[in-house]
Amino acid sequence: MKKYGTHITGLILLALLALFVNEYRKKTTLNRREINFAIEDFNRIDEVIISDEERRVGLNRNNGYWLLNSRYEVREEAVEMLLQTFGRLRVSSPAPLSVRDQIMERLSDESIRIDIGMGRRTRTYFVYSGGNDSPTYMLRQGSSRPYMIEVIGFSGNAASLFVTDEGYWRTNLLFNYRLDEIAEVTVYHGEDEDDSFILRQSADRDFSLYSYPGDEGLEGINDSLAIRYLANFFYTPYERFANRNETMLMDSLFQARPDHMVRVTHRDGTDTEVFFHKIITENENGSNHSGFDLFRLYALINDRSEMVVVPYHSVDLILRSASYFYSKQR
């Protein structure tokens, strides 16, 4: 009997051990899923949506190109940094028990939500940080345990890498045309309409110049100068979006005659139109006369629905007059 009792006791111990190992494996598997924030093969990502209580940006890859909110071109370096961030996420420790409930509440009410699409699969993360000097916490959807995370190779606040400001992601370009893509350029000068012109380029790179609005051909155009001029429409940047106080002027600028207008027509028939306005500076030393900013212009873009600030040096070579294209011999 003693022998059988020993066997039964051994069997019970083995069963308990097997149960313990099984439960341990379950918990370990769950923990691994909860802390597996990094996406090593981040090139599989084809959609990222970043949102908070007030703003939402959607980044989508289509035919190898990324678009912002299915409309705007994005800064390639910004998207590449974001994808690299997903590949370098690392858990530093679980959230301390003493603040876990508080962190969970913040993640529920004040977090940034990140939805990551990879074909048919989607991951959702919630990110919260109390500020630049505070740790960043991340929670995977379906989990109940937040973790402090860091980004390998990045010493700043990790939450700052997930930006919901649309302006951060957009390219800061007024124009971005290759020479052979341009069919026509129209330049209007409000203060001197006689300097306005239309430059047309045929498919075989034959150039013709017209007075504005295009009813009179101008002879003697120098083709090399036309080529040099059109090359200025490749990567023409603006400085920044207008701030809140500046955008209060949009309605009045919309109604006013622009100081300059530039329209570039692509060979496919689409065009980009930009309206430039001088920036009036504040009176100085009690003077009754206002001046103009000598270094910057306002520009209305995207059907005059948005306003940006443009440095003169970005556009001075495209705000030419018709006389620029005449050969020296004329």
Q: Which residue is listed with tokens 């035919």?
A: 63
Structure tokens at 250: 């949009």
Nearest to 136 by CA among 118, 115, 110: 110
Nearest to 277 by CA among 237, 244, 302, 304: 304
Model pTM? 0.70
CB proximity list for 158: less than 8 A, separation 6 or greater: 85, 89, 127, 129, 136, 149, 150, 151
Residue 207 to residue 222: CA distance in whole angstroms: 9
Per-residue pLDDT of the chain (330 residues; tens, 9 = 90+): 555 555 566 556 565 565 554 544 444 444 565 668 999 888 899 999 999 999 999 999 988 889 999 888 898 899 999 999 999 999 999 999 999 999 999 999 999 999 999 999 999 999 999 887 889 999 999 888 999 999 999 988 999 999 999 889 998 999 999 999 999 999 999 999 999 999 999 987 899 999 998 778 888 889 999 999 999 999 999 999 998 899 999 999 999 999 999 999 999 999 999 999 999 887 655 555 568 899 999 999 989 999 999 999 999 999 999 999 986 544
For residues 307 and 253, the answer to whether their CB atoms sit within 8 Å is: yes
Q: Where are the domains of the chain?
A: 33-169, 173-325
- pLDDT at residue 144 in the model: 86
